Amino acid sequence: MTENTTTTTYPVVTRLDVGFDMVEDRLIAHLHTVADGTRVVLITRRLMRLLLDHHAALLRRTSETAARAPAGQRDEVLRMEHVGALSTVSANGVPPVTNAAAGTPPAVWLAREVQFRVEGAAIIIGFMGQRRDTGAEKRPVNEPIGAMTLNRADAHRILAMLAKRSKDADWGLEHHAPWLTEAGVEGQQAIN
């Protein structure tokens, strides 16, 4: 899990759908990209734990409102921000998605790293990994899979969705942020 200070070029993700594969014990993310169609990304429990922890910490660290609050009330401020984000619909329109040719299955990747970057008010989350449907000799160690550029509200929605999917998978990863897991927040409806 890194905060990226160098520039990496990623395919632009316009939509994220997440499910769970019980046989593989992996979350399955479908990254819908502008130019490369859908990319299926396998996310391990270990990587998801790191992603949730880092994502929640980044939202906490970049909250100007929480920074101005007394230390003992910062989690409550973040909880209110989180609940507010989940109670509103995203204002961002989803650009059209270019899919792979009909009948062509999407590329499958194993996520090996997630990079976070803050640019102004935007939070960028980029997935790096190995393509699974090519020979090992052709597979680089890590290459860009896709990245999402999110405003704070959408970053909260993505965090809630990933936390819910991890909970649905019974992975026991609920302890990543006190402001996210206390009563009243867990019951909020996350985006799908």
For the stretch 111-139, pLDDT in tens is: 999 999 999 999 999 999 999 876 666 65
What's the gap between Cα 78 and its chain centre? 18
pTM assigned to the model:
0.80
Q: Measured on CA atoms in the order 48, 113, 19, 187, is the torsion positive or negative?
A: positive
At 134-187, the pLDDT tens digits run 666 665 678 999 999 999 999 999 999 999 999 999 998 876 677 776 443 444
